[in-house]
């Protein structure tokens, strides 16, 4: 009988992050300079990122050593347990084994701290005084605020307006750790003011908040920009999740048949799954499933094309599955999944057929969240609940498989979402094809 709970000792926290770029069957299409259309150079990124992170972004090395200071800080909550959801399995009457890698145990309550600590560490080393960022649900903003507190940097967060109002306690968390938080779009930036003038009632979006944070960093010499997902170096830092999981499965005498994660920009999903890509290349039957909201279905309904990462067209062009940079998703409660694009690495692997994507409407996602909470006890974040929905549906096939999902965060600050679900007030949105066609008309032309 495989164990219900697999712990690792702290000396088994990985000593290096895994870089999947070294093992891709085809190279990743490079990011392009939006002005020249030429592949981006390190100098193009220097105004907004520190050198060390630019090097990681472009590195082809298979392993990148984790600095000892960062590894020490990981000890606050890592290694995280791999837990077998036996009570959920029983309720489903499935003969599949369902495991979840519990990333909700970090101080900020999600996987995001795996990269915020690393990013702030490198910025600090290069003398940066302040970091500007965006946040959707507030998980990333709070993780960055904590990391900035640890390393003594100032932290400015542009929080998507709909989440700013839906999740006031995530704001409080950022304040506790000394961060300043503004609802986005705000009147602090040119990009924010332009959007407010045209759409004063916009709920905001990650694309808009990214524009504001990038502009803030570009306009201030002491400030750099940080992103909580999408970029290669962010997914790299998150691979501690999958590396620990591999070791834990080995200790449990298990081999994963199915890997599942929710996808906003792709960082928790990539963190779990990328270390398994070499296995997938040898064992094509390994299923790797990316789960997204049907209200923001980049992987399932978007096109694979070069697009801007933000709304105001300030970022480089990256090749990804996109719904168009002008797309503003409905204000669903999984704020961290309201992104028009995807990590280029995840998009590339999807295009190559190594990853499969699924989309679910939010009511069925919350139904799964309640089933999980009623059996396993933990109350998941709405984002995480997408992975749970998929894992439950997969387990219902009853084919004896070993299913492993990333439990990316807890939902303790998402009670208004649970209240809305329980009182029948949660709306489902299907993204209309006409809206995709309209947004895709604005894609940049790349020769």
Ligand X SMILES: Cc1ncc(COP(=O)(O)O)c(C=O)c1O
Decide: is 119 part of the binding site for ligand X (CB under 6 A): no
CA-to-CA dists, residue 189 to 42, 195, 214, 216, 324, angstroms: 26, 10, 10, 7, 22
Task: Give the x-and-dash track for 129-158 against ligand X (CB under 6 A).
Answer: -------xx-xx------------------
Q: Residue 143 corresponds to which tokens in the numbers above?
A: 């993780």
Decide: is 207 part of the binding site for ligand X (CB under 6 A): no
Query: Cα separation of 402 and 384, whole Å?
Result: 19
Query: Cα separation of 140 and 145, whole Å?
Result: 8
Among 18, 102, 409, 439, binds ligand X (CB under 6 A): 409
Decide: is 262 part of the binding site for ligand X (CB under 6 A): yes
- Of the pair 307, 383, the CB lying nearest ligand X is at 383
Among 205, 408, 414, 417, binds ligand X (CB under 6 A): 408
Among 336, 347, 365, 385, binds ligand X (CB under 6 A): 336
Among 192, 204, 207, 265, binds ligand X (CB under 6 A): 265
Query: Cα separation of 72 and 75, whole Å?
Result: 5
Helix axes 51-58, 113-125, angle to 10 degrees: 130
Decide: is 302 part of the binding site for ligand X (CB under 6 A): no
- Of the pair 119, 139, the CB lying nearest ligand X is at 139
- 159-198 residues in contact with ligand X (CB under 6 A) are none
- All residues at 6 or more sequence positions from 437 whose CB lies less than 8 Å from its CB, including other chains: none
Among 179, 207, 266, 302, binds ligand X (CB under 6 A): 266
DSSP class of residue 39 equals: B
CB atoms within 10 A of CB 326: 18
Query: Cα separation of 137 and 130, whole Å?
Result: 22
Decide: is 357 part of the binding site for ligand X (CB under 6 A): no
* Residue 140 C-beta: closest distance to ligand X, Å: 5
Residue ranges of alpha helices (H) inside 227-289 are 232-252, 267-273, 277-282
Query: Cα separation of 232 and 122, whole Å?
Result: 15
Among 384, 389, 403, 431, binds ligand X (CB under 6 A): 384
Decide: is 268 part of the binding site for ligand X (CB under 6 A): yes
Decide: is 310 part of the binding site for ligand X (CB under 6 A): no
Supply angle C-alpha 162, 159, 139, rounded to 5.
100
Decide: is 229 part of the binding site for ligand X (CB under 6 A): yes
- Of the pair 44, 228, the CB lying nearest ligand X is at 228
Q: Is-contact 109 271, C-beta < 8 A?
A: no
* Residue 337 C-beta: closest distance to ligand X, Å: 6
Count of residues interacting with ligand X (CB under 6 A): 21
Half-sphere exposure of residue 371, counting CA atoms within 13 Å on the CB side? 22
Using CB under 6 A, which of the segments 174-182, 312-320, 381-389, 433-441 binds ligand X? 381-389
* Residue 266 C-beta: closest distance to ligand X, Å: 5
Q: Is-contact 271 263, C-beta < 8 A?
A: no
Summarize as ranges the residues that interact with ligand X (CB under 6 A).
110, 136-137, 139-140, 229, 262-269, 336-337, 381, 383-384, 408-409
């Amino acid at each position: 009988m495989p164990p219900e709970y697999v712990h690792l000792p702290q000396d088994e926290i990985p000593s290096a992050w895994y870089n999947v770029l070294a093992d891709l069957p085809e190279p990743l299409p490079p990011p392009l300079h939006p002005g020249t259309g030429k592949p981006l150079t390190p100098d193009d990124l220097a105004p907004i990122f520190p050198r060390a992170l630019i090097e990681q972004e472009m590195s082809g090395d298979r392993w990148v050593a984790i600095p000892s200071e960062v590894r020490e800080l990981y000890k606050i909550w890592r290694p995280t347990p791999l837990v077998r959801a036996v009570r959920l399995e029983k309720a489903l009457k499935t003969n599949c084994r369902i495991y979840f890698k519990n990333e909700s145990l970090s101080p900020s309550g999600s996987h995001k701290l795996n990269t915020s600590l690393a990013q702030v560490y490198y910025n600090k080393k290069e003398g940066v005084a302040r970091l500007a960022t965006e946040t959707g649900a507030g998980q990333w903003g709070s993780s960055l605020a904590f990391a900035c507190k640890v390393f003594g940097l100032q932290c400015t967060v542009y929080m998507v307006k709909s989440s700013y109002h839906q999740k006031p306690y995530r704001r409080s968390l950022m304040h506790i750790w000394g961060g300043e938080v503004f609802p986005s779009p705000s009147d602090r930036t040119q990009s924010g003011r332009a959007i407010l003038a045209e759409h004063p009632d916009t709920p905001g979006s990650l694309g808009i908040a990214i524009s504001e944070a990038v502009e803030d960093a570009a306009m201030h010499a002491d400030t750099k920009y940080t992103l909580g997902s999408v970029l290669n170096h962010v997914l790299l830092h998150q691979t501690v999740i999958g590396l620990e999981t591999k070791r834990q499965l080995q200790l449990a005498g298990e081999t994963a048949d199915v890997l599942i994660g929710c996808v906003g920009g792709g960082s928790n999903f990539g963190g779990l799954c990328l270390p398994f890509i070499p296995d997938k290349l040898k064992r094509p039957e390994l299923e790797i499933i990316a789960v997204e909201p049907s209200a923001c279905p980049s992987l399932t309904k978007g096109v694979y094309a070069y697009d801007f990462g933000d709304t105001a067209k300030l970022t480089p062009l990256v090749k990804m599955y996109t719904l168009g940079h002008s797309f503003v998703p409905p204000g669903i409660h999984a704020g961290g999944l309201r992104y028009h694009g995807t990590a280029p690495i995840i998009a590339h692997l999807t295009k190559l057929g190594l990853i499969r994507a699924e989309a679910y409407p939010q009511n069925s996602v919350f139904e799964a969240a309640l089933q999980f909470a009623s059996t396993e006890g933990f109350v998941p974040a709405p984002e995480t609940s997408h992975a749970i929905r998929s894992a439950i549906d997969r387990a219902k096939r009853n084919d004896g498989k070993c299913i492993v999902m990333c439990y990316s965060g807890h939902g303790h600050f998402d009670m208004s979402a649970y209240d809305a679900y329980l009182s029948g007030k949660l709306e489902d949105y299907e993204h209309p094809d006409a809206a995709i066609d309209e947004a895709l008309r604005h894609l940049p032309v790349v020769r």
